[in-house]
Amino acid sequence: MLKYIARRLLMMIPTLFLISLASFFIIQLPPGDFLSTYAAGMSAQDADVARETLEGLEQRYGLDQPFHVQYWRWVSNIVCCGDFGQSFEWNRPVSSLIWDRLTLTMLLAIVSTLFTWFVAFLIGTYTAVRQYSVGDYFWTFVGFIGLATPNFLLALVLMWVSFRYFGQSVGGLFSPEYESAPWSVSRVLDLFQHMWIPVVVIATAGAASTIRVMRANLLDELHRPYTTTARAKGMKEWRLIAKYPVRLALNPFISTVGWTLPTLVSGEIIVSVVLNLPTTGPLLLRSLESQDMYLAGSFILMLGVLTLIGTLLSDILLAWLDPRIQYEKAGSR
């Protein structure tokens, strides 16, 4: 087991390198950069200050240097001192901008995952046990609708519903009075009050497919001989289902985290732009529009890294849960 984890960690290094390279490459793609735009705006006002700032910035980041030099400088600063560079637009270090937002993004992604599981677990079990019942068709249909509806559309509709029928202040994750308050019990409660819309919206993306995986797996298990044996021995039906087939059918939940997590993070980005949540989404969009390269690049890098860690955790969890998985070989395919 330890060997497996160590190997997986080692394998992450080249992936991490590729992700960082890709994020840096992507943010270098747009023609022109923030500085040239910035300079055009500044020079009209006070040219001297502008030139000094520009030269300082240019030197600091080596913007006049070739790609690999710039990349090296960026990455080595991140690795050695956690310095993600400076946001041009906000005129603040990137690291001071991203952490709060990343934390909230990950919190949302995790809560959505748990919610997705909870919903998919219940509905998946129900639809498998009552195969071809009205409820089965109903939930299958709901699942399909969930798959077909763009996240942002659902967010818009729910936002409107909550505004129209619950009179709740919409958008954001906090009520105005808690916006910049320090963390406290009531602030957390306030957060959860606001979180249900994004969580529901994000979860529909993952739940629909997870329900179907759960249903298919449980259907396979339900007709195994061991189920018949247990039933023949007079075991109570629900106890039996919960104790054996469901437990086996749960594996895909863990093993698909690796796929659901990027989807959830993606969903979170769009939903938070629509709902204007203080998470990564709106700031990432803004930074991409204004070519605030270090901010955008750091966001993409960190989102990639966090997803990678999440996937790793789920793989370890799976290897631990299901002894049938040979983790010695698991990485080779």
Partner 1 sequence: MTHVESTPVAEPEPERPDQPAETAPEAAGSGSGRKRNGSTVYTASQWRLMWWRFRKHKLAMAGAIFLMLVYLVVIFAEFFAPFHPSDHNGAYQHAPPQRVHLFEETDDGTRFNPHVKGYHYEEDEETWRRTYVTDEDQIYPIGFFVSGPEYKLFGLITTDIHLFGPKDPEAPMYVLGADRMGRDILSRVIYGTRISMSIGLVGVVLALVLGVVLGGISGYFGGWIDSAVQRVIEFVRSIPEIPLWMALTAALPRSWSQVQIYFGITVILSIIGWTTLARVVRGRFFSLREEDFVTAAVLDGVSKRRIIFRHMMPSFTSHIIAAVTLAIPAMILAETALSFLGLGLQEPTVSWGVLLREAQNIPSIAHTPWVLIVPGFAVISTVLALNFMGDGLRDAADPYNR
**Beta strand pairing call for 86-87 and 92-93:** antiparallel
Instruction: Choose which of 94, 173, 249, 265 interacts with partner 1 (CB under 8 A).
Output: 265
| Contact call for residue 332 and partner 1 (CB under 8 A) | yes
Q: Pick from 259, 278, 320, 325 the residue near partner 1 by CB under 8 A.
A: 259
Identify whether the C-beta of residue 312 lies closer than 8 Å to the C-beta of residue 13: no
Residues pairing with 87 in the sheet: 92
Residue 73: Cβ-neighbour burial (10 angstroms; 0-12, 13-18, 19+)? middle
Residues in the interface with partner 1 (CB under 8 A) total: 63
**27 scored as a contact of partner 1 (CB under 8 A):** yes
Residues 166-195 binding partner 1 (CB under 8 A) are 170
Query: Distances in Å between the alpha carbon of 159 and those of 90, 115, 168, 195, 203?
Result: 29, 19, 9, 12, 15
d(CA 24, CA 33): 13
Among 68-76, 96-104, 172-180, 206-214, the segment contacting partner 1 (CB under 8 A) = 206-214
295 sits near partner 1 (criterion: CB under 8 A): no
Q: Which of 197, 230, 267, 319 binds partner 1 (CB under 8 A)?
A: 267
Cα 278 to Cα 172: distance, rounded to the nearest angstrom: 6
Query: What x/- string results for residues 216 through 255 when contact with partner 1 is judged by CB under 8 A?
Result: x---------------------------------------
- Residue 149 as a binder of partner 1 (CB under 8 A): the answer is yes
Q: Between 235 and 288, name the residue whose CB sits nearer to partner 1.
A: 288
The residue with tokens 């409820």 is 135
Residue 206 tokens read as 């993952």
For the CA atoms of the chain, what is the radius of gyration? 24
DSSP β-bridge partners for residue 86: 93
> Where does this chain touch partner 1 (CB under 8 A) — which range of 14-22, 92-100, 174-182, 193-201?
14-22
- Residue 30 interacting with partner 1 (CB under 8 A): yes
Is there binding between residue 325 and partner 1 (CB under 8 A)? no
Q: Answer yes or no: are the C-beta atoms of 257 and 113 closer than 8 Å.
A: yes
**Which residues lie closer than 8 Å to 144 by C-beta, 6 or more apart?**
208
In Å, how far from its chain's centre is CA 104? 10
What is the binding site for partner 1 (CB under 8 A)? Answer: 14-15, 18-19, 22-23, 26-27, 29-31, 144-145, 147-153, 156-157, 159-160, 163-164, 170, 205-206, 208-210, 212-213, 216, 256, 259-260, 262-263, 265-267, 269-270, 273-274, 280, 284-285, 288-289, 291, 296, 299-300, 303-304, 307-308, 311, 332-333
